[in-house]
């Protein structure tokens, strides 16, 4: 039976379009975490912060800093979890500090729209087969981010206005991260074309940048930068 | 003798010999540490070359600068700069657009969660 609705769940359901399989999602989550009844009595919070950025090991795994999470090793060896746990605190500092308390006790029953059960299952199937190397690279991919404070400072200096909202910083950090991804991936493509190997060199990045400009993915300066 | 405009362009990559003012001098390596992890995550070596990281940082700063200028141009018509201006700029780039909407919605959820968390904490506090 579903537990009583707390205000947060109700608010969430209002917020998002309720996917038809949300009850299924809840049952899945409940069936997979039978050892945690104390969470439910804790005030009725049932929010697993599943978001990609905040939980590296996939949606069904709680934040590793939670002590009882080790009792339910999902796909990965507990060593990986331990590894992640040590870095979980540093990672959480990148985001607001309040969020850390959030992660400890809460369990989202309603996952964000991108995480329907089929996709989650697929994702976990893939993740379970990663080698150590791949896992560490994937971890870097998920966790790395540009510092919001630095970005905010940069934006303030560019626009000249002090009023840079938090969502704007977040958006720009996200855009910049994806841009870096495009650059690096294209640089790797350039390298395979030239059949070179090893770390990426500036010439590859420059060629990648040139190609991105041709594709129109880089905004063109309306005024040429004359003095560097 | 020296061009007066060169002194005015304090934001360009002048050497760090000038004393730092209130404006943001382009210090080297602002994003360097984060960029190293990021590049590894995207496919580079575990230890990217420092000159590569420096170049990527320059490119990213230039990218953000251009985007911000364009967003400002758009936003000036409305009055002030807002998030929508950035979203308008990347409207053609679907992966980025989806990612940004996802980030924004996640941030909203977290805000709600924090609010609910504090409310419940108060309730618990009064009970005990």
Q: B54-77: per-residue pLDDT in tens?
A: 999 999 999 999 999 888 888 888
Cα-flanking dihedrals φ and ψ of residue A48, to 5°? -95, 120
Q: Model confidence at A97, in pLDDT bands (50, 70, 90)?
A: very low
- Return the CATH number at A188: 1.10.20.10
The residues, ordered by sequence, that sit 6+ positions from B7 with a Cβ below 8 Å of its Cβ are: none
Q: Which residue in chain A has the smallest CA separation from B124?
A: A43
Q: Which of B5, B40, B93 sits opposite A227 (nearest CB)?
A: B5
Give the per-residue pLDDT at B86.
86
A2 within domain boundaries: no
pLDDT in tens, A126-151: 999 999 999 999 999 999 998 889 99
Question: Any idea which of A14-23, A104-113, A214-223 has the lowest mean pLDDT?
Answer: A104-113
A66 within domain boundaries: no
Question: Any idea which of A29-43, A129-143, A156-170 has the lowest mean pLDDT?
Answer: A29-43
A183 within domain boundaries: yes
**A41 against B32, higher pLDDT:** B32
CA B101 – CA A126 distance, rounded (Å) = 25
- Residue A205 domain boundaries: 165-219
pLDDT in tens, B84-95: 888 888 888 899
Q: Model confidence at A228, in pLDDT bands (50, 70, 90)?
A: low
CA B31 – CA A97 distance, rounded (Å) = 21
Give the per-residue pLDDT at A6.
53
Q: Min CA distance, A31 vs chain B (Å)?
A: 23
What is the per-residue burial (b if ≥16 Cβ within 10 Å, else e) of B64-85?
bbbbbbbbbebbeeeeebbbeb
**Residue A65 scores a pLDDT above 90:** no
A71 within domain boundaries: no
Q: Model confidence at A48, in pLDDT bands (50, 70, 90)?
A: very low
* Contact (Cβ atoms closer than 8 angstroms) between residue A6 and residue A46: yes
Q: Min CA distance, B116 vs chain A (Å)?
A: 6
CA A148 – CA A166 distance, rounded (Å) = 9
Q: Model confidence at A89, in pLDDT bands (50, 70, 90)?
A: very low
Look up the pTM and report it: 0.62
Give the per-residue pLDDT at B80.
82
The residue ranges of every structural domain in chain B are: 28-91, 92-127
Q: Is A82 on the interface with B (CB under 8 A)?
A: no
Q: Model confidence at B25, in pLDDT bands (50, 70, 90)?
A: low
Residue A117: other Cβ atoms inside 10 A: 17
- CATH node for B28-91: 1.10.20.10
Q: Model confidence at B120, in pLDDT bands (50, 70, 90)?
A: confident
A53 within domain boundaries: no
Spell out the SS3 assignment of chain A. Answer: CCCCCCHHHHHHHHHCCCCCCHHHHHHHHHHHCCCCHHHHHCCCCCEECCCCCCCCCCCCCCCCCCHHHHHCCCCCCHHHHHHHHHHHHHHHHHCCCHHHHHHHHCEECCCCCCCCHHHHHHHHHHHHCCCHHHHHHHHHHHHCCCCHHHHHHHHHHHHCCCCCCHHHHHHHHHHHHHHHHHHHHHHHHHHHHCCCCCCCCHHHHHHHHHHHHHHCCCCCCCCCCCCC
Give the per-residue pLDDT at B128.
64
A169 within domain boundaries: yes
A147 vs B39: CB contact, 8 Å cut-off?
no
**Residue A202 scores a pLDDT above 90:** yes
Number of domains composing chain A: 1
Give the per-residue pLDDT at A218.
86
Q: Which of B65, B109, B114 sits opposite A158 (nearest CB)?
A: B65
């Amino acid at each position: 039976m579903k537990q009583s609705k707390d205000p947060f769940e109700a608010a969430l359901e209002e917020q998002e379009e309720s996917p038809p399989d949300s009850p299924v999602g809840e049952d899945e989550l409940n069936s997979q975490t039978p050892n945690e009844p104390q969470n439910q009595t804790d005030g009725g919070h049932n929010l697993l912060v599943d978001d990609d950025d905040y939980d590296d090991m996939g949606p069904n795994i709680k934040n590793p800093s939670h002590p009882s999470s080790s009792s339910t090793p999902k796909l990965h060896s507990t060593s990986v979890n331990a590894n992640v746990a040590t870095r979980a605190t540093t990672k959480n500092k990148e985001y607001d500090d309040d969020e850390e308390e959030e992660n400890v006790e809460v369990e989202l029953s309603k996952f964000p729209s991108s995480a329907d059960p089929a996709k989650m299952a697929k994702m976990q199937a893939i993740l379970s087969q990663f080698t150590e190397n791949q896992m560490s690279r994937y971890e870097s991919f998920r966790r790395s981010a540009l510092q919001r404070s630095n970005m905010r400072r940069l934006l303030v200096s560019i626009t000249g206005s002090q009023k840079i909202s938090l969502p704007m910083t977040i958006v720009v950090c996200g855009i910049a991260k994806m841009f870096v991804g495009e650059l690096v991936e294209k640089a790797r493509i350039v390298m395979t074309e030239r059949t070179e190997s090893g770390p990426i060199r500036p010439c590859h990045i420059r060629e990648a940048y040139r190609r991105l400009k041709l594709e129109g993915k880089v905004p063109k300066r309306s005024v040429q930068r004359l003095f560097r | 003798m020296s061009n007066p405009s060169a002194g005015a362009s304090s934001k360009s990559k002048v050497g760090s010999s000038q004393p730092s003012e209130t404006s943001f001098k382009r210090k080297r390596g602002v994003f360097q540490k984060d960029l190293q992890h990021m590049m590894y995550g995207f496919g580079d070596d575990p230890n990217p070359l420092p000159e590569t990281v420096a170049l990527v940082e320059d490119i990213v700063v230039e990218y953000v600068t251009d985007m911000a200028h364009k967003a400002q141009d758009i936003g000036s018509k409305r009055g002030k700069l807002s998030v929508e201006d950035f979203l308008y700029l990347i409207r053609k780039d679907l992966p980025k657009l989806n990612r940004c909407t996802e980030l924004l919605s996640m941030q909203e959820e977290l805000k709600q969660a924090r609010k609910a968390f504090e409310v419940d904490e108060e309730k618990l506090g009064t009970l005990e």
